[in-house]
Structure 1
Amino acid sequence: MKDFCEVLEHLYKKVLLGATLENDNQDYVFYLNPVFSGQDDAIATSSECSHTLGFLDKCQPCSVNLATTSVAPVCLKRCFQTSSAREILLLQLTVTKVMLTRILSETEFHAKEKYREIIHILLKSSDLDSKLTSMFQNSDKLLSHMAAKCLALLLYFQLKEKITLSNSWVAFCQKNLFECSESDKIVYCLSTLAVVIKEILKDTCSQKTEILKQFLMPFDSHFEVFYNSLFSQRFGNCQDATKVVNTLICFLELLELLIASRIHLESQFTCQRILFLKPSCVLDVITWPVQAFVKRKLIIFIKKCLLCKVGEDLCRGSVPAFTPPDRHLDVDMLALADAVLQAVDLGLLRTLSVHGKPSRFGGGEVPPGSEPVSVPDHVILRAASLLVVKSLEIKFQNCPSANEMKGDLQKFMSELLTFLEPHVQPSPPTHNPCEWLCRVFIEQDDDMVEAARATLGIYLKLTRECEAPESLTQEKEIWDHHTHENGYNPHCIFLFFLKNTTYLWTQYADQASASLAPRKSPWGPFRTTTHP
């Protein structure tokens, strides 16, 4: 593309390298300022191009020698004739996004200051955030996606620069969260909010607590309204099931980030606790007629919450020393554990689809002429197992009744082992119920450690509450039988762990020996040659 696009492309290359810009800031603002009406599919029309050309003719830059060749304002009309206005707009968004990324990352000081000045001018002179918000209404998915990504970085830039967020954007998000519509606008709104929180969590600055407070405050009550509306609706009655699923996936990601923010901010907002205050709403999604991957994502999300590992891949560094302890955390974790056990009692495990595709090199599709092989989804098996044992451990920490603990343990472990039996071969009950842990978690070390720790916590709690006198050997035998029968005897679990890992190491050693053994040459035995 020529002229206007060449200038943007040249600018993109310089910003991508983090190079210092030499021209006047107003020149760059002229080329980066998106001009459009904001109506759906209006960008590429001839009338819109005419409107844009009229604006550009009135706003000619002082000097436009930004590329290697001089570009005159009169060439702008030819630019719109030879290239789509959509392509220009996408290029403008790309350059702005890269410039914001450069500002928020490690870039040479003078280049970063130049980029910062340009963005400041864009915010003041062109109402950039409002223009990006209006792109959410466009049917062009790529354009809407780029606008959301660009807006998220722009919002985070404003938070770091202590610039008040646009009232129009705040009102736009509040309106869509309150209405909980099935439009694409709510999806882009949720994804924008998620990206901003993600950037805050990834940042290593000392002001992230204040930034989080400033960002969450306008939306706290609206998140609760949206949470209630989304999970109270009946999936089968929705007009567009795909949009509901997209909204659900985006909100689960946002919910995970809100919970992760509790690590760096004292829990004073309801939106950070909403899952724990009303956990049954989220667990009910498993009974919805949605795709298996949605339920899979949900189960993994709840598992992370119970293990307190939400957002661990985003939060850099340790928790600040000045962060006050979360006084609600123990109560919230107990509420979530109780809700999970109640759902399991109502048949949660029986509603899970655990049939996956076998993994093959190059993909998981079945080759032509081959019969499909049904294999269990071990991710679901591990997550569901951790849901049960971790919930039991949390509940037992707050349960003083030994008889109640014994009854719950027998009921829920029996439910779990029955759930695992068809998918773990050979099934643990035919050998020893304690073998289930090694067979389920043998391919995932961190989950195995968490499961072993939870079962050990259950064992220790029950041992201390139900410890029998030394003389009552019969009671001790009954107690040992109870621990084996329910698959949580730590001594037995450890022995099975050694057995399985020894087998794996033996297999590995055999394979290594076979690969290092000399092979017979098709041309005769190997001969040793000496070099002069």
Structure 2
Amino acid sequence: MQCTTSCRERPTTRGHFDCLTDAYRCFLKGSCPSESAADVAGMIYSGVCGVVHGEDRERVPAEYCHESSVELTCISVTLVEKMSCSLTSQSHPPEVRLYYEETLRMLFQDMDLMSQLVSHCLARMRSYPAELHCMLQHSTCIMYTFISQGTVSPVWQQTCVQAFYSSAPGTELDACLWSLTAVLKRLLKGAHQGKTKILGKLLAAFDFSLSALCSKFLPEDRKQVTQSGMDFTNSRQWGTTFCLLLDLLEVLTASSLMCGAGVCLKSQRITHIHSAALLKTISCSSEYFVKKRALLLLKRTMLQKVGEDWALGEVLSTGLKYEHYSSDMTLLAQTVLTAVAGNWLQSVQVKSASFFGGTRHIRGDEGQKSDSVMLRAVSLLLLKAMELHIQTGAGTGGSATKVFGYLQLLWGFLRRCNVTLTEVTHSCCWVSLVFGEQDDDMMEAAKALLSIFLHCRESISSAPAAACVSGYNPHCHFLLLLKGVSFDHSILLDFLISSETCFLEYFVRYLKYLRVDWQGYTAACGRINISDNQTDISQQEALTCSRGGETPVLTYKLELDQVEFNSSVQTPERLSLPVLQMEQTSSTNTAPQSGQVTCEMSARVVHCLSELREVVMRLQTKNLFPYNPSSLIKLLAQVEKCSQQSHLSQCNK
């Protein structure tokens, strides 16, 4: 089927525009225009070049000629984008695809349209950021030529490589960063045959230039950069360019996870290699949005969730890891821990939480909440670094003491940011305070703290008591989680089914530990009151924050490499790090219903888990559960059995 509209007798700009409009309408209908592919290609090329016919130039004012030129360019570029996108997705009938393939072949091979598109986008980006759509159209065309011809566009590659090697922050570098990021995203999200091979060829074309670019923007030693005159941080456009670079780094890091062992280039490892420089940016940059963006990149990299915002359900990890994956993650974790031990947290700025009126600086005597996104990111980055440090076997020899020290440094940071740790009576509540608004982060934090606890219990004799003092008792975290969802088993079921959190992994691991430490669980039940909104301490111990001159009965004196907690040169703020103490309460404050509170809390928990087991079994019977829950059901049944045995032993006393 063909559209009957003819464009041969339309020499004016208006006629040219109408002809392109007719071709676009035919494209939307899934049909071929009446004009030949060569004629349509010629009209598109002249439209992209902004050609205004001589007859119009003579009778129309210059400003109208400019408007006509812009309109022709827009519809021409849009038509090329739509054709490229449809051919990539193969959404049209065969005869229509052949027509548009011929049109695009003439445009990109015979007429060298790509050179015009690159020049056009660079020119339009001078009115940035209004020309985002132009860059997206450009990336679609680059993707088509790359996939159809199997080679990277030479003019595009040359322009980007030159910008990466020599350009300071500005329009040209922004355009190239944006363009490469958009092309990589389209490639990673698309269902292309041989995606890994295509990706490897594309990244290889930019590997050296990207490494050189990141050496300029993420130097290991800022003093050398300042002395060489290459410091861009004072540039007016540095913040925008740097954020575009961070976007590209996230895509590059995501590509290493999505392609696994198939591709392993240095440019895909930049986030890990330059993690120390990124941490310096977070602490030293004057632009808050740059700090926040860099911190979120490191957090997602540590969690292996880079690209989750745009992956649209794609599996981010193939299961196969690239060659340097383990060493890169170990390097990232060690870099974070070294920075924290060097008082990096003291230099991290956190603004007040955003509201409809904007943001404002927090004064020391105000109770306004801090930016929860930053607090969660900093906390989770440190917790996951500690977990990974332990899992890789690096955390040996005095690691329990170091863990306590890291947690105290974290609490000092949180208290400085107005997180009211001193107003809660149970130190394990800090997890709910910091992560309560974000389920996925809370589960990651709980899982990390569980791993840390399981490691540290082998290093110290009184693991449960010390864990409560340091705020990482897994029993307390689980009880507070259930209390937070009102002991509703249906919410736990949602967590089990959802792929957005790591609750299943955390839940199974905790239940396995619960089977062997029922005594520690019942002790935790006695410390948490289910009737109040605020966590209550047990009648036998009180966990409070020690400040200033208070003298604790039991205090953990902790040391970290490069950190001296008792140094006389420390600032008052460092001296007021939260040192938790355990005090024996007087007999007059001991409530007579301690056992009743413990039994009531435990009964609520076991009842919730029992209901969860029953509903999971029903769903499994009907083949409605998304995976095989047999092991989970067995664990839940064993927990119920532990509860029954504990109840019988108490009755026999």
TM-score by length of structure 1 reads 0.77
List per-residue Cα deviations over 1:54-73 (Å, max 9, x = no partner). Answer: 7xxxxxxxxxxxxxxxxxxx
Conserved? CA contact 2:302–2:385, under 8 Å: yes
CA distance in 1: counterparts of 2:194 and 2:87, whole angstroms: 17
List per-residue Cα deviations over 1:372-407 (Å, max 9, x = no partner). Answer: 994321111111110010000011123456443123
Q: 2:154 aligns with which of 167, 176, 193?
A: 167
Conserved? CA contact 2:181–2:247, under 8 Å: yes
CA distance in 1: counterparts of 2:92 and 2:370, whole angstroms: 51
Question: Does residue 1:335 correspond to 2:347, yes or no?
Answer: no
Shift of 1:484: 1.5
- Equivalent residue, structure 2, for 1:2: 14
- Seen in structure 2, the aligned counterparts of structure 1 residues 27 and 336 have a Cα distance that, compared at 3 Å, is same
Conserved? CA contact 1:97–1:150, under 8 Å: yes
CA distance in 2: counterparts of 1:272 and 1:132, whole angstroms: 28
Q: 2:141 aligns with which of 150, 154, 159?
A: 154
Question: Does residue 1:231 correspond to 2:218, yes or no?
Answer: yes
- Equivalent residue, structure 1, for 2:70: 86
Question: Does residue 1:314 correspond to 2:314, yes or no?
Answer: no
1:102 alignment partner AA: S
2:259 alignment partner AA: H
- Equivalent residue, structure 1, for 2:97: 112
1:159 alignment partner AA: F
- Equivalent residue, structure 2, for 1:512: none
Q: 1:254 aligns with which of 248, 258, 271?
A: 248
Conserved? CA contact 1:16–1:98, under 8 Å: no
- Seen in structure 2, the aligned counterparts of structure 1 residues 398 and 221 have a Cα distance that, compared at 3 Å, is same
Give the alignment of 1:463-478 within 5 angstroms. 463=457, 465-466=458-459, 475-476=461-462
Question: Does residue 1:208 correspond to 2:200, yes or no?
Answer: no
2:475 alignment partner AA: H
Conserved? CA contact 1:376–1:423, under 8 Å: yes
- Equivalent residue, structure 2, for 1:356: 352
Shift of 1:225: 0.7
- Equivalent residue, structure 2, for 1:124: 109
Question: Does residue 1:264 correspond to 2:248, yes or no?
Answer: no
2:398 alignment partner AA: E
CA distance in 1: counterparts of 2:180 and 2:390, whole angstroms: 37
- Equivalent residue, structure 1, for 2:466: 482
2:146 alignment partner AA: L
Give the alignment of 1:413-452 within 5 angstroms. 413-421=407-415, 423=417, 426-427=420-421, 430-452=424-446
- Equivalent residue, structure 2, for 1:57: none
- Equivalent residue, structure 1, for 2:548: none
Shift of 1:436: 0.8
CA distance in 1: counterparts of 2:85 and 2:286, whole angstroms: 36
Conserved? CA contact 1:236–1:289, under 8 Å: no
Shift of 1:76: 8.6
1:97 alignment partner AA: E
- Equivalent residue, structure 1, for 2:82: 98
- Seen in structure 2, the aligned counterparts of structure 1 residues 218 and 401 have a Cα distance that, compared at 3 Å, is closer
Shift of 1:300: 1.1
CA distance in 2: counterparts of 1:190 and 1:167, whole angstroms: 16
- Seen in structure 2, the aligned counterparts of structure 1 residues 103 and 162 have a Cα distance that, compared at 3 Å, is same
CA distance in 1: counterparts of 2:181 and 2:41, whole angstroms: 28
Structure 1: stretches of 5+ with no match in the other structure: 38-42, 44-48, 55-73, 367-371, 468-474, 508-532
List per-residue Cα deviations over 1:498-522 (Å, max 9, x = no partner). Answer: 2222299999xxxxxxxxxxxxxxx
CA distance in 2: counterparts of 1:236 and 1:172, whole angstroms: 21
Question: Does residue 1:198 correspond to 2:198, yes or no?
Answer: no
1:119 alignment partner AA: L
- Equivalent residue, structure 2, for 1:177: 164
CA distance in 2: counterparts of 1:190 and 1:391, whole angstroms: 30
List per-residue Cα deviations over 1:313-356 (Å, max 9, x = no partner). Answer: 417554797x8532321111110011112222233333333333
Deviates more, 1:451-460 or 1:150-159: 150-159
- Equivalent residue, structure 2, for 1:280: 276
Q: Residue 2 of structure 1 aligns to a residue in which SS?
A: helix
- Equivalent residue, structure 2, for 1:530: none
- Equivalent residue, structure 2, for 1:32: 44
Conserved? CA contact 1:249–1:294, under 8 Å: yes
Question: Does residue 1:382 correspond to 2:366, yes or no?
Answer: no
Shift of 1:123: 0.3
- Seen in structure 2, the aligned counterparts of structure 1 residues 182 and 285 have a Cα distance that, compared at 3 Å, is same
- Equivalent residue, structure 2, for 1:11: 23
- Seen in structure 2, the aligned counterparts of structure 1 residues 195 and 80 have a Cα distance that, compared at 3 Å, is farther
Percent identity between the two aligned chains: 25
Q: Residue 204 of structure 1 aligns to a residue in which SS?
A: coil
Q: Residue 161 of structure 1 aligns to a residue in which SS?
A: helix
Shift of 1:424: 6.2
Conserved? CA contact 1:132–1:148, under 8 Å: no
Superposition CA RMSD, Å: 3.3
Deviates more, 1:181-190 or 1:165-174: 165-174
User: What number of residue pairs does the alignment pair up?
Assistant: 458
Q: 2:119 aligns with which of 128, 131, 134?
A: 134
CA distance in 2: counterparts of 1:335 and 1:225, whole angstroms: 21
CA distance in 2: counterparts of 1:288 and 1:216, whole angstroms: 31
Structure 2: stretches of 5+ with no match in the other structure: 1-12, 220-224, 361-365, 492-529, 532-653
List per-residue Cα deviations over 1:217-255 (Å, max 9, x = no partner). Answer: 111111111110112355995486332112111111111
